[in-house]
Amino acid sequence: MAYYCYILKCVNGAFYTGSTQDPAKRLTAHQKGRGARYTRINPPVSLAYVEEVSNHSNALKREIAIKKLTREQKEALIMNQNLNIVNQFVNSHYSSDVIEVLSPGRVNMLGEHIDYNDGVVLPAAIDRYVNLTAKRLSEPILVLHALDLNQSISIPLDKLTEKTDCQGQLLPGFALYPAGVAWALQDAGFIPTGIEVTYKSNIPIGSGLSSSAAVQVGFARLWNHIGGWNLTGLELAKLCQRSENHYVGVQSGLMDQFACLEGVKDHLLSFDTRSLGWSVIQLPPETSIVIVDSSQRRDLATTTYNQRREECTKAVELLKHWLPDIQSLRDVTPADLRKHIHKLPTHISLRALHVVNEIHRVEKALKALNAHDAAAFGKLMLESHQSLKDLYGVSTSVLNLLVDIASISPGCYGARLTGAGFGGCTVNLVASQQVESFIKNLKAEYYRHTKKDLAVYPCQASDGARVIQP
């Protein structure tokens, strides 16, 4: 019987090499977390290379030889292989009634809290994912298996407005996101079929990396595929936003869902939340994204996120007395605000000042990106964090410490909190050749100040949510 050497590609971009008599069966084991410790902590994995070997002894020798290859040599091996061999085992791994979706998180590089103020934002999808495996059901039921939470639930699709499970119990928070997508689809005239979905994620929950949006768009992409509706990424993003606003109860903007759906590898998205126009723009050359987790968790529905939105709405309402043509804070120039800011209540003036200046910062950032000026872009990131801290009031002492340490670390162009704030993560733009030393220094300095360890995620800008097996 033939033996095979194989290479798996993990979610972090690393390669795992092994040997087996049955690559399809082995792939299944790795996907379910039973193959090896490394693939279990870096899911999902995909089969990148298969090579047939005559016997067990030669398979072990070849496995050792492949493991000794450099990354570049492994990539060349993968590039030059016969793809039909890989497809043979991938196709036998997936049964015809199983659908798999990979849905990324997102990081916002600049333009914080302006997506709901009609601003232009600069997010990117990242290579940390929610992985969904689904099969169709004959009944109108949504069955969820959330592996990270160790919870399962069945939800009747014909009673979504009741927000209860099949036993009549109120839905727990995690179930509101997929159920809300089904509700929004129904409300728009689409009929989501019954499905059973097992999903897990390596996006930290409550970290500001849009773990909830990744779940939403994963289910939206899944039902769009099953239904054959051919809805665009923007159309799906709008449905997901409606779900979060009206079903979950968080008044989010459109940026998170859009970025998770329409991300482009190695690029930022320049997304105009007023016109809904968008373009892609490259990160500065020889730079990398490094995300640092503060380990402070927050639930948007129970923080002051909705309050900040209300304060922005109030600012527009008040400023209309002197600027009657404005529709949102995007229409207010820095000069206009300077002229009238003293007429506003103090807390309202601070919120408006952040938003107006942040919108202006993004305009400068686009010029810096087009000029490939990493230093200028990084300076704007630091200015943004200071504004989020002092004017918008959404930072924390831990986030401030992380930004302070990063800003004086060699190789760091800029750092800021990302996401809604109140905890979560910082995003750092770092010279690619100094990422390793940057992380080492950041961890050491943070430990010196707090006696605590840090979780740090070097990331790449990723493609958006996609079906990876029909």
Tens digits of per-residue pLDDT, 373-388? 999 999 999 999 999 9
- The answer on 365 and 322 residing in a single domain is yes
- The answer on 335 and 208 residing in a single domain is no
CATH of the domain at 70: 3.40.1440
Cα 104 to Cα 261: distance, rounded to the nearest angstrom: 8
Give Cα separations from 405 to 178, 409, 421 (angstroms).
38, 6, 18
Catalytic residue among 256, 266, 293, 453: 256
What is residue 87's predicted lDDT score, i.e. its pLDDT?
53
What is residue 439's predicted lDDT score, i.e. its pLDDT?
97
Q: Which domain holds residue 413?
A: 283-459
Which run of H or E residues covers position 369?
Answer: helix 346-370
Domains: count for the chain: 3
**pTM metric for this prediction:** 0.75
- Which distant-in-sequence residues (6+ apart) come within 8 Å of 175 by Cβ? 144, 153, 155, 165
What is residue 470's predicted lDDT score, i.e. its pLDDT?
55
Mark which of 68, 93, 118 sits at the end of a domain. 93
Cα 27 to Cα 94: distance, rounded to the nearest angstrom: 10
256 catalytically annotated:
yes
Mean pLDDT of the residues in the chain: 91
84 has pLDDT over 70: no
- The answer on 182 and 146 residing in a single domain is yes
CATH of the domain at 141: 3.30.230.10
Percent of the chain with pLDDT over 90: 70
Percent of the chain with pLDDT over 70: 94
What is residue 85's predicted lDDT score, i.e. its pLDDT?
57
* Residue entry with tokens 């019954």: 194
Cα 184 to Cα 241: distance, rounded to the nearest angstrom: 9
Choose between 206 and 444: higher pLDDT: 444
Mark which of 67, 93, 119 sits at the end of a domain. 93
Give Cα separations from 182 to 169, 239, 245, 273 (angstroms).
18, 9, 14, 24
Q: Give the model confidence (pLDDT) of 7-48 as tens digits.
A: 988 767 788 999 998 888 888 788 777 888 888 887 667 778
Mark which of 36, 61, 93 sits at the end of a domain. 93
90 has pLDDT over 60: no
Q: Give the model confidence (pLDDT) of 54-83 as tens digits.
A: 888 888 889 999 999 988 888 888 877 665
- The answer on 260 and 118 residing in a single domain is yes
ω into residue 44 within 30 of 0, thus cis? yes
Q: Give the model confidence (pLDDT) of 331-358 as tens digits.
A: 999 999 999 999 999 999 999 999 999 9
- The answer on 400 and 341 residing in a single domain is yes
Segment 385-393 shows an average pLDDT of 98
CB 89 within 8 A of CB 50: yes
- The answer on 330 and 396 residing in a single domain is yes
